Amino acid sequence: MKKRLICLGLVAILSVVGLYSSIHLAEMHYKKPHHQLMLIDTLPFMEKWFPRDQVESAVKSLEVLSDVNTINPFDNPDFDPYAAAMNAPAATEKFVPQESCDISETISCTKVDDSDYSKIAGLAVSVYGIIGYILLIGLVIIHAARRISRSDVFVFMLWVGAWLGILFSIYLTVVEAFFIKSFCPYCLVSAAVMLGIFICMIAGFGFEPLRMFLRGEIFPTSLFIKKKQS
């Protein structure tokens, strides 16, 4: 029992760390106007916190600024390329950090966050992380309040959550490595947290929750094994 309590305690602590990481990523994601616009399109009630007219105005301002930066100087008949070359400042480096976690081209929160893979069903991946970690913390607290050592429905849900979390973390890490070709430090922290949670659940409970579920001991009836008829 002591071993399991320690494992559950570690799960709770790791979940708090993961929750902090996910909240920071969500804040970074939704401070950008175009992400705010997608949020209120997906969840209209969020317009209370992100007024649509203000968000759309900010998006248009950024688009105008982008257009200004892409004007072709050769369209100007008075443009002198030789003078421009002689008076031009030294070229800046390609990588320009925007966040504290932007270290290089291959380690950049911004590059990952601006990719198409940073959203699922219109919501930032970090939002799902926040929900998941809150659920894990809640399940640990509820199970601890029951003061039982064996697996119950809450441990089973923790066990399933650990499996789903580690698989999702593997998917995101593969996407960062092979598609985005850049890693987000906070995402890596979250992946390490999920690995720790997975190890704790396996070390503390093994496959007992699954066996009890299949035998019908977690829920009133089993979904997979029919009861023997007398």
Phi/psi of residue 49, nearest 5 degrees: -95, -25
139 is a domain residue: yes
- 94-119 pLDDT, tens digit each: 667 778 889 998 999 999 999 999 99
d(CA 35, CA 1): 46
CATH value at residue 172: 1.20.1440.130
Instruction: Provide the whole-model pTM.
Output: 0.81
- 142-185 pLDDT, tens digit each: 988 877 666 678 899 999 999 999 999 999 999 999 999 999 99
210 is a domain residue: yes
Task: Domain count for the chain, please give it.
Answer: 1
176 is a domain residue: yes
98 is a domain residue: no
69 is a domain residue: no
- The DSSP result for 100-138, as a single string, is TT--SSSB-HHHHHTSGGGEETTEEHHHHHHHHHHHHHH
37 is a domain residue: no
Nearest Cα residue to 197 out of 3, 4, 6, 7: 7
Those residues whose C-beta lies under 8 Å from the C-beta of residue 63, and which sit 6 or more positions away, are none
6 is a domain residue: yes
HSE-CB of 15 using CA atoms within 13 angstroms: 26
Structural domain containing residue 23: 2-28+120-214
